[in-house]
A and B are shown apart, each in its own frame.
Chain A
Amino acid sequence: MGNNIGTFHILLADDDADDRQFFSEAISELRMEHKLSLFKDGKELMDYLEHPDTQEADVPHILFLDLNMPCKTGLDCLQEIRANSKFKDLSIAIYSTSSSEKDIEETFIGGANIYIKKPNDFSKLKKVIKDVVNINWQFHTSGLNMETFLFSI
């Protein structure tokens, strides 16, 4: 899964409009050649992912997933996605305000790849996105452990 295979497709599911705006602004300021799709809750995200038109080749590369969302929570989405082998190559980054151990533990067990605590500084946000996109996921997933799971900015 390299940058050379078509455009890098990034998804963000977050019910907070401001956060979605910060995110897309950061992506555009980074001048990255990436496709970004935004979803305002878990249901919308799952509807998109499970749409029959979505081919395996179209499966996005990375999903930034907020936890606290109406209808379907981030944890629900995580479990549904990980239950579907079609999305086995999809990297999931939890993107939440919460830093509670309970949330970190549950998402780690649920199969998320990384846990990002939402930063309170725009420049930090840009750095996080840049770093996460550039991570060699193959390498990262092979050494799964709780310490590296929580992404430190």
Chain B
Amino acid sequence: MKSAYLYKSSLVIKIALGTAILLIIYISCVFFNQMQNLGNSVESMSVSNKRLLELEKILSTISVNESSVNTFIITGDSTYLQKRFAPKESLRPQFERLRKFTAKSTKNFNCDSLQALIDARYDLFDKVLESAKSDHLQPNFVLNFQLAKSDTITDKIRDYVYQSLDNEASNVNQYQIDHRYEIETSIITSFLLVTVALFILLISLRRISSDLKDMKKLNEELQFLNYTFNNAEKIAGISHWKYNLRTRKYSFSDNFYNLIGLNPETFEPSMENVLPYLHPDDRDRVVEAYTHSLTNKTPTSLIFRLYRKNGDMRYIKSIGSFAENSRGELVKIGVNYDITEQYQNTISLEENNKDLRIINAELESFNNIVSHDLQEPLRKIQMFISRIDENEFTSLSETGQDYFKRISASANRMQNLLIDLVNYSRAMKGDKAFVKTNLNEIVAEVLNELAANIEEKNAVIHVGNLPSVNVIPFQIHQLFINLLANSIKFSKQDTPPEINISREKIVGEETHDNVIFADKQYYKIVVSDNGIGFRQEFADKIFQLFRRLEKESYEGTGIGLAICKKIIENHNGFIFAESEEGIGAKFIIYLPR
């Protein structure tokens, strides 16, 4: 987000700077143009001045000549002429300069017409001098005529020069007016433009400096992130590596080297440099896997062993996949992590599991021995007891008969114990198939099986409408046998047992032992009786193996309810007991739907 903002702002600055530079270039062009114009006008002004100077010189030369000619005519002294009369040739340099200046500015000025006037004047000088020299006695009117003509031409020259002077002066004046206006406007516009450019530059600078601050902050954050990342890698025993498929260059993180027990950047990052640290048996496999991956652009997941510098062998898991970097180049990025501890734990766990399986198998065979092989001699003892009971009992003494009855009772108790043990071990295995079964059918079978028992105690049993549930049928059968036998057994001496088996709807949510039950997930089945019950504090203990609350007056093995709990656990269900001593017991079963 932040970097996107910076990118946007740098674009804004670029545009602002570009605008400022364009403005400055434009101003410079305007200035250059104006300076050039100014130079031109100054030059044309100096040319005008020079031309005026030359014109003045020519005019004064003509005047000097005229006065010396006049003096000569009046005095007849030719020395005036020799000293002060400038010949026509002496005016040539003035004319050349005049022509040169005039070439630059042709406006309102014709050198040739001036030359013609000058030539005409010199002709008259010559004619005046000639007539003055040759014959002093000549009638004066010729000379006077020529002098009058000379005056006219001189006046013409003077007029011409003055005319030119006026023209030049007005020209210069016009130049000055023009350029003053231009200079004034250009000064204002350039001042404005420079101010605007400076303003933009200042804003850009301000922006740049604030962006730089942000950049610095970002950079610091990035550095901290990098530091955290490196540390995290170190703590977690993780390292990462990259391979650029275009530049064919590897890069390894610092911890990559740490995992090999080396300092960061000990060697150039490359496959060849890592190989020597790999377990020799793993090298070919690893190289093959990576080559295949780079050719087919498939991700890799490998476990290999590597030797640290100090000779320790470590198990490394390496996972790699492909991604594109900001330049659109394909890069393989991978993570290596040290799984030595996990690997060793797994191995020891597997060994433990194997041991456990062996112990389990031994326990099972022990259970078989106990249940089957012990039943065989017991059955024979009972057989002999029945033989004596039938034929020889009366011939025993009274004490003998008493002892014999006790032997018989003990043998029967042992038989019950063995049967329960077999049932318990069957419940322990819990590897039977689940079948959708109507619980009413199972309960009907159970009632049939317990018919003699029920009749003996005059028990009344109410069975409600039970659901069909996915169960291991013979185990649920066993469950109801045990629960009902339990209720019948622990009935009050004077009251015939009354037992209710029903399904109860779970209203909202019910909580037992921190487990929450909802109607959507569980069936709740309740078996309640009016027997002697037990103190609620024993509610958990009654489900423990060989735990009996009533030792004296009630027979029992202490296995029955433990089997029930086991069976319910096999079904991922829960069984709880609730009771009030002397009132009755209630067994609540939750079976998953």
Chain A interface (Cβ within 8 Å of chain B)?
16, 18-19, 22, 97-98, 100, 118-123, 125
Q: Assess the B379–A122 pair: CB atoms within 8 A.
A: no
Chain B residue numbers with a CB within 8 Å of A125 are 383
| Contact between B372 and A97, CB atoms less than 8 A apart | yes
Does B390 count as interface, using CB distance less than 8 angstroms? yes
Q: Does B376 contact A (CB under 8 A)?
A: yes
Write the B347-373 contact mask toward A (1 if CB under 8 angstroms, else 0): 000000000000000000000000010
Q: Which residues of A contact B293 (CB under 8 A)?
A: none
Using A22-B383, A120-B382, A120-B383 as known contacts, list a sample of 15 further A-B pairs with CB atoms less than 8 Å apart, ordered by residue number in A.
A16-B380, A18-B380, A18-B383, A19-B380, A97-B372, A97-B375, A97-B379, A98-B372, A100-B372, A120-B378, A120-B386, A120-B415, A121-B386, A122-B383, A125-B383
Contact, CB under 8 Å: B383 / A97: no
Q: Please, which residue of chain B has its CB at the minimum distance from the CB of A117?
A: B379
- Closest approach, in angstroms, between the C-beta of B430 and any C-beta of chain A? 15
- For the residues of A in contact with B, the DSSP-based class is loop
* Across-interface contacts of A16 in B (CB, < 8 A): 376, 380
Of all chain A residues, which has the CB nearest B387? A122
Rounded to whole angstroms, the CA-CA distance of A118 and B377 in the bound complex is 12
In the complex, the number of residue pairs spanning A and B with C-beta atoms less than 8 Å apart equals: 30
Q: How many residues of B contact A (CB 8 A)?
A: 12
Assess the A123–B379 pair: CB atoms within 8 A: no
A-B pairs with the 5 shortest C-beta distances?
A: A120-B382, A122-B386, A121-B386, A120-B379, A122-B387
Residues of B within 8 A of A (CB): 372, 375-376, 378-380, 382-383, 386-387, 390, 415
CB distance from A82 to the nearest CB of B (A): 25
- Chain A residues with CB under 8 Å of B376's CB are 16, 97
Q: Which of A97, A98, A118, A122 contacts B390 (CB 8 A)?
A: A122
Query: If A97-B372, A97-B376, A98-B372 touch, does A123 touch B390 (CB 8 Å cutoff)?
Result: yes
* Minimal Cβ-Cβ distance residue in A for B388: A122
What is the CA–CA distance of A122 and B392 in the complex, to the nearest angstrom? Answer: 13
Q: Is the CB of A121 within 8 A of B372?
A: no
Chain A's closest residue to B411 (CB) is: A120
In the assembled complex, the Cα of A120 lies from the Cα of B390 at a distance in Å of: 14
Q: Could you tell me if B375 and A121 are in contact, using CB atoms closer than 8 angstroms?
A: no
A104 to nearest B CB, angstroms?
12
Which residues on the B side are within 8 Å of A100 (C-beta)? 372
Question: How far is B379's CA from A19's CA once the two chains are assembled, in angstroms?
Answer: 10
How near does chain A come to B96, taking the closest CB pair, in angstroms? 145
CB-nearest residue of chain B relative to A122? B386
CA distance A123 to B385 in the complex (A): 11
Query: Across the interface, which residues of A come within 8 angstroms of B415, CB to CB?
Result: 120
From residue B365, how far is it (CB to closest CB) to chain A in Å? 14
Q: How far is the CB of B13 from chain A (nearest CB, A)?
A: 87
How far is it, in angstroms, between the C-alpha of A97 and the C-alpha of B372 when the chains are bound?
8
Contact of B382 among A19, A98, A121 (CB under 8 A): A121
User: With the chains together, A123 CA to B383 CA distance in Å?
Assistant: 9
